[in-house]
Chain A
Amino acid sequence: MSSQTAIQGIPKRRKKITRQQIAPYLFVSPFIISFLVFLAYPLVQAFTLSFQQLIPFSMDFEWVGLDNFRRVLIDHRFFSALWNVARYTFWTCVILIPVPMFIAFIVNSKFTKCKSLIRSLLFIPVLTSTIIAGIVFQHMFSSEPGGAFNEFVALFGINPVRWLHQPGTAMFALVFIAVWRWTGVNMIYFLSGLNNVPQELYESAEVDGASGMQKFFFITTPMLKPIIIFVLTISITAGFALFNEPYVFWGTTSPQDIGTTVVILIYRAAFMLNDFGYAATLGVTLFFIVMIVNMLQLKIMGLFRKDD
């Protein structure tokens, strides 16, 4: 009886909902809608698809259980791809955290001149299209003696290198583009972090006679820890999701799989083999791998500790 009375009461209260109360929901609705449509729905769909095999050129499918996952385990290209992206992620993290952090520290220093010029110059690469930059770098990494990088190494008496056709140099090429492209962005993250470091800490360190290096290692670095964690997390995600640059360099068939990444395999399965079930399975597998790596990284950096 009492619940019925409560329900009867609702219409009266509904009238009281004002525009001010609706407005917040309306403002977040674009995000909520796009999140549901472009993230939540595809994610659920991908999980479902990974247990299915689509019948070509129809909307029919059959359930295949774990067969797609079994195929992932015997696919030698998958493991080559995983090894490639793991190495790529490692190198980008090793280079793209300390270097931009140091540059940000220099740019932020009161002794540096032309700050905005340096900032803009470093930021420009990220504004260029990945595809166009990839094509330009592809020509620069040409195996011919006239390629930009071969002309450079020739200065040291080194014979022309087949940059994009050998495992080591191919990885170098990929990491090189990443460094060229992302140094500026990461620097901006660190710069914004630096602005939040209280000036008093530096001042009191100076009073205690700390050198510039000591200030960098004992004040700046620890104070930037949240930014480091953020940059590391997005670097890992981006590293494992690598697609554009190797696709421009080699398409889906790189010699001896030196440029194969997991996302390239997903693209190949979906759009070249018309095997959407397997493509989804690769995607789901990658999802779990990145998740585990990120969890481990956050755990190691102590983000789950309550006291932090």
Chain B
Amino acid sequence: MKKRILPLILAILMAVTLLAACADESTPATTDGDTPAAPPSDDVTVLTMWSFVETHLEYFYRAADLWNAANPDRQVYIDGQHVPWGQIWENLQMALTVGEGAPDLIDIEIGQAEMYLNVPPGHVPLLPQNDALAPYLPYLVMARVDPYTAHGNIYGVCYHIGAVMMFYNQSLFDEAGLDWREIVTWDDFIAMGQLMKERTGAYMVNLDSNLFGWHPLVAQQHFQYVSEDGQPRLDSPEAIRALQLMHDMIYVYEIARVMPGYELDSEEHYAAFNNGNHASLWAPAWFLERFPRVMPDLQGNLAVGPLPVFEAGNNRSSSAGGTMTAVTNQVAPENAELALDFVAFAKGNREAAMMQWTLLGFDPIRWDIFEDPAMLAPSPAVDFFGVEFAQMFFDLLFEIQAETGSIDEMRPHSFHIREHIIQHVMPATIRANDMSPAEALAEAQEILERELD
């Protein structure tokens, strides 16, 4: 009898294990469930949160402490989960499409945000934060709120401004006997770059061949290369002028080269800047966070200035990159108001916003704390870069507030157009000198017009 039952059990076991994959799994696979130790009691509202950056979760745990201290009758506990990049977007997209499984709070990177915001009215799967944010809005840099606004509603706020700045390797300038403070225009930059290369052999700058190189140069001319109705405007003088400048730095003046690894965030580029192979780079301020981790030799040796301009009246900075924290429409109705108030507080409250610098090492989104002495107090960033740099950094942020442009990446077809530029225009003009910027942009314009018809 046993012999007869055994095959049956085995067969059932096989079927069951095969089907186990279909079982309901409400939580995503995560690497670390690194939540604070305090166990929530009954009068504490638990809010779940996913982020692809562990320090963002840490930021929210501390923001919850600040909130709880100020709101004894509305306590929150953040149940955070770190979900790796890639997986987090797939999980979120599925959960929001099928209507279950999403967390209460979610970090959405700006490049992904279009998918959630650029949908017909009434279909945004997130809750508007307008009312909750109202008390903080007068103090926030609006360039960091606008990208996350759709159909008149604000769905989140960034962790930083991401103001694009010039970072200089001070010892290379000292060695060459040059003062970067004398640079005002791109012509000055090129002239000094030629001296730099002559005297030290180092390149003046390395160029990102993704979009962190080109976008700021377009935005500083107060131009959007995607029209409001989603049509490309790549053959415009502003777009061509920006790309031509980058092209000429490499192939005409020979003061620049493409970043090794081709983009800002590549191991090869970190090594090159760390080793003093180039004297400067332009990057969003959040790039500072990389230095202590991967470019340690530059400790205390970095200076910061505004972007040079084409002509008077241009923006001297532009914001780039970013991540908003949103409340999903799957938050329990009774917790929705608390979740919205808390998220707005976490980003907009003065003390909380300071952590954007002291904890995360980013340029904070509240302009009224730029000149606060607390920003110069010891923190990982101040310890690494030095008080003098921190002072220079916040003075600059204060100074360029009204001169920070940005490329609106939420317009219809923005994703498609950006992708085409990265794949076709940059490789042909910056990575290789196969086409002139005007030709490449005109060709891209023609193809995109046909496809987006």
B125-A257 in contact (CB<8A)? no
- Would you give the shortest CB distance from A171 to chain B, in whole angstroms? 16
Q: Which residues does chain A contribute within 8 Å of B90, judged by CB atoms? A: 271
Interface presence of A59 (CB below 8 A):
yes
Could you say which of A143, A165, A257, A271 contacts B93, with CB atoms under 8 Å apart? A271
Complexed CA–CA distance, A254 and B423 (Å): 6
Complexed CA–CA distance, A58 and B14 (Å): 35
Could you say which of B125, B268, B426, B450 contacts A74, with CB atoms under 8 Å apart? B450
Known A272-B115, A272-B415: A30·B260 in contact at CB below 8 Å: no
- Would you give the shortest CB distance from B289 to chain A, in whole angstroms? 22
Complexed CA–CA distance, A94 and B157 (Å): 54
Interface presence of A57 (CB below 8 A):
yes
The prevalent SS among residues of B at the interface is: helix
Complexed CA–CA distance, A27 and B11 (Å): 6
Q: Which residues does chain B contribute within 8 Å of A45, judged by CB atoms? A: none
B414-435 residues with Cβ-Cβ distance < 8 A to A are: 415-416, 419, 422-424, 426-428, 431-432
Could you give, for residues 244-288 of chain A, a 1 whenever the CB lies within 8 Å of some chain B CB and a 0 otherwise?
000000001111110000000000000111100000000000000
Interface presence of B120 (CB below 8 A):
yes
Complexed CA–CA distance, A272 and B18 (Å): 30
Could you say which of B19, B97, B451 contacts A57, with CB atoms under 8 Å apart? B97
Q: Which residues does chain B contribute within 8 Å of A162, judged by CB atoms? A: 431-432
Complexed CA–CA distance, A108 and B120 (Å): 65
Known A58-B123, A144-B268: A23·B7 in contact at CB below 8 Å: yes
Complexed CA–CA distance, A142 and B14 (Å): 45
Could you give, for residues 224-244 of chain A, a 1 whenever the CB lies within 8 Å of some chain B CB and a 0 otherwise?
000000000000000000000
B423-A255 in contact (CB<8A)? yes
Interface presence of A16 (CB below 8 A):
no
A253-B419 in contact (CB<8A)? yes
Interface presence of B15 (CB below 8 A):
yes
Complexed CA–CA distance, A57 and B101 (Å): 13
Q: Which residues does chain A contribute within 8 Å of B119, judged by CB atoms? A: 56-57
A271-B120 in contact (CB<8A)? no
Interface presence of B191 (CB below 8 A):
no
Known A57-B96, A144-B268: A30·B120 in contact at CB below 8 Å: no
Known A144-B260, A271-B89, A272-B415: A253·B423 in contact at CB below 8 Å: yes
Complexed CA–CA distance, A57 and B328 (Å): 12
Could you give, for residues 85-128 of chain B, a 1 whenever the CB lies within 8 Å of some chain A CB and a 0 otherwise?
00001100100111100000000000000011001100111000
Closest to A57 in B: B125
Q: Taking each of B90, B260, B431, which has the highest tally of chain A beta carbons within 10 Å of its own beta carbon?
A: B431
Complexed CA–CA distance, A75 and B416 (Å): 12
Could you say which of A19, A29, A75, A255 contacts B15, with CB atoms under 8 Å apart? A29
Could you give, for residues 373-416 of chain B, a 1 whenever the CB lies within 8 Å of some chain A CB and a 0 otherwise?
00000000000000000000000000000000000000000011
Interface presence of A76 (CB below 8 A):
yes
B4-A56 in contact (CB<8A)? no
B167-226 residues with Cβ-Cβ distance < 8 A to A are: none
Q: Taking each of A27, A74, A252, which has the highest tally of chain B beta carbons within 10 Å of its own beta carbon?
A: A27
Q: Which residues does chain A contribute within 8 Å of B415, judged by CB atoms? A: 272-273
Could you say which of B4, B93, B123, B419 contacts A19, with CB atoms under 8 Å apart? B4
Q: Which residues does chain B contribute within 8 Å of A252, judged by CB atoms? A: 419
Closest to B125 in A: A57
Interface presence of A293 (CB below 8 A):
no
Known A19-B4, A33-B15: A255·B96 in contact at CB below 8 Å: no
A46-90 residues with Cβ-Cβ distance < 8 A to B are: 55-59, 74-76
B120-A55 in contact (CB<8A)? yes
Could you say which of A26, A142, A271 contacts B11, with CB atoms under 8 Å apart? A26
Interface presence of A37 (CB below 8 A):
yes
Q: Which residues does chain B contribute within 8 Å of A29, judged by CB atoms? A: 11, 15
Interface presence of B29 (CB below 8 A):
no
Known A26-B11, A55-B120, A57-B125: A74·B451 in contact at CB below 8 Å: yes
Q: Which residues does chain A contribute within 8 Å of B8, judged by CB atoms? A: 19, 23, 26
Known A29-B11, A33-B18: A273·B115 in contact at CB below 8 Å: yes
A37-B93 in contact (CB<8A)? no
Closest to B422 in A: A253
Closest to B8 in A: A26
Complexed CA–CA distance, A58 and B125 (Å): 9
Q: List 11 A-B contacts (CB under 8 A).
A: A26-B8, A29-B11, A56-B119, A57-B124, A74-B450, A162-B432, A253-B422, A253-B423, A271-B93, A274-B93, A274-B115
Ranked nearest first, the 9 interchain pairs of A and B with the lowest CB-CB distance are A255-B427, A56-B119, A57-B125, A26-B11, A30-B15, A30-B14, A274-B115, A30-B18, A253-B423
Given contacts A30-B14, A74-B450, A272-B115, 4 further A-B contacts (CB under 8 A): A26-B8, A33-B15, A252-B419, A271-B90
